[in-house]
Chain A
Amino acid sequence: MTAETPTPAPAPDQAPADDVLRVEHVAKRFGAVTALSDINLRLKRGEVLALLGDNGAGKSTLIKIICGFHQPDVGRIVLDGQEVTLKSVDHARSLGIDVVYQDLALINELTVYHNMFLKRERVRWPLLNNRLMRKLAKEQLDDMGVNIPSVDAEVAKLSGGQRQAIAVARAVYSEAKVLLLDEPLAAMGAKEAALILDLVKDLKERGDVSVIIIAHNYGQVLEICDRVNLLQHGEITFDKLSRETSLQELNDIVIEEYRRALRERQRTA
């Protein structure tokens, strides 16, 4: 069980026009720590890309750059063929890049429909137009095949999978072009995970939103993604279509990484 040196990422020189998002030669340092050294990533329109990587490989830094939270030191981000400078999370969101964080962004105390419309409320001044929001939220969730007891339910009463589904539905409803799902399946049981995977599958079939799934556990996401990227030590070291790779291959790479870490420890000890 040995793995060859991972295939280097293809150069993005003549990137096809159907890329919705391209990250080109992006690097980011925090003081003495190089979080990302040279990132090249492409996301095709309607594609589901799995971004895999060990803890500390730079996944969250990369996500935070794509969603506008951090600005890269060098390199550029191209959205829909145009170079963009993402000034803030709000700015990125207004351009159609939206992140769904694991269990962070929903307000437990509010109903499902208020959560879906938070900060984009429908108003019949000075009052909230609850009837309209309720109706639209229900339509959207039905349309996406998300099953919840009622849009009037407090989010606190829902399960982890349902909450995640609502967060995804909210992002899709806000006309996100690029959706980043940050560890959507962490801490989720099989049935819950099935709900989310099903939702992503649906999104893929519709094709109007492109998805990057950030995951630790590649076994869960390999089935539903079109392509797999592996992030190691601040670089994308592996880029293959999912039908061209296998669980076995990914396993080998990860195991090799663990072995290398172990050898390094022994050498320094």
Chain B
Amino acid sequence: MSETVERAEAATGLPGGEPSGPANPVWVALRRSAVLLTERREATVFIVAVILVIYFRTAAPAFFTKSNIINITQVAAPWAIIAIGEVMLLVCGEMDLSVGFTMLLAPFVMHYLIDFYSFPATLAILITLAMGLVIGAANGFLVVGLGVPSFIATLGTSLILGGIALTTSHAYPSNIPAKAAGIGHWFGTFAWAEITWAIVLVIIFHIVLTRTRWGLHTVAVGGNLVGAREAGVSIAKIKMGNFMLTATLGALVGIQEAFRVNSIDPTSGGYQPMFYAIAAAVIGGTALAGGSGTVIGAFFGALVLAILTDGFNLIGVSANPLGIIFGSAILLAMIANVYLTRLRRAGAR
């Protein structure tokens, strides 16, 4: 057998040629559009959000009013911002359960710095954000340096951070420092502030994840740890960096929420926003197993969760069955994730 014949055979015998599935055009078209939808995972959850908006608009007249839209964005924005960090972490194979407690602690730290140590407001906010970096680095060190699984490591830091916040504040709420009132406008007092932050950050980190070396290496680490190490990617740097990003975003959200509700509340934060952020990430198409995810998808995921919360409230469904609906939505999204990924991989063969 000559070399050329051998090679031609090897080439055509491999997947990648013309699909040889059933020739039914309807089936082919359906399959193709399904593949298209899954190629752009964000599209699926965006369509769900649009359908929900249309439904609640007809079902509840108050839904599509300016004040209610602001309300929805203020619910969605903190989840979306935290979800950015969780997406980056999930993609590289980790998660941060403690981010809600960084969020709880951050405004207290800002308050202590301004009111007890006379720091100027801007500097106090910067130091608080830097504290986020340090908390993230601590999480990262536990996971990367000491090899503690991130679930346990961040569970531990959650309780520590929560304990610090409650001990130092004696579990009493505080007022927003008067000196910070001006700058607070940019963070959360202004009605559209949080969603603006969320959109800007989502766009930035969508680009980071899809168009930069950092993003590529994040995917590589989560997709194939051994392979990434083989290629020379620094696993520690990527994971550490994404932990630091997540905690810093948590601190930012904590400050924003304090300004928005105009009080520093020892009951804010906690596990709830973290769970919603991870739910938003999953609904948006991020795989818990690592290696793939989308920041924009998580943003739409947060929007869907916020629309559901708000919409059901408006049409008079009590808050009690919301858990059933959210739980089902997360499960459905996860199942769809698993099957659509399989379809997508098979679809291109």
Contact = CB atoms under 8 A, between A and B. Distances in A.
Range for the number of chain A residues in contact with chain B: 35 or more
Nearest to B233: A119
B345 A93 contact: no
Contacts of B226: 104-105
A104 B230 contact: yes
Range for the number of chain B residues in contact with chain A: 20 to 34
Given A107-B227, A109-B292, A157 B7 contact: no
B9 A194 contact: yes
B2 to A, nearest CB: 11
A145 to B, nearest CB: 7
A101 B14 contact: no
Q: Report which residue of B6, B212, B224, B349 has the largest number of chain A beta carbons within 10 angstroms of its beta carbon.
A: B224
B212 A153 contact: no
Contacts of B3: 198, 201
A191 B6 CA distance: 8
A110 B216 contact: yes
Question: Chain B at the A interface: mostly helix, strand, loop or mixed?
Answer: helix
Contacts of A130: 211
B26 interface: no
Contacts of A154: 345, 348
Nearest to A147: B11
A149 B11 CA distance: 10
A153 B15 CA distance: 12
Interface in B208-257: 211-213, 216-217, 219-220, 222-224, 226-228, 230-233
A205 B98 CA distance: 58
A245 to B, nearest CB: 23
Contacts of A157: 15-16, 345, 348-349
Interface of A: 89-90, 93, 101, 104-110, 114, 118-119, 121, 123, 126-128, 130, 145, 147-150, 153-154, 156-159, 161-162, 191-192, 194-195, 198, 201
Interface of B: 3, 6-7, 9-11, 13-17, 207, 211-213, 216-217, 219-220, 222-224, 226-228, 230-233, 291-292, 345, 348-349
Given A106-B227, A154-B345, 15 more contacts: A90-B232, A104-B226, A104-B227, A105-B231, A109-B220, A109-B223, A127-B212, A130-B211, A147-B7, A147-B16, A148-B16, A149-B16, A149-B17, A153-B16, A158-B15
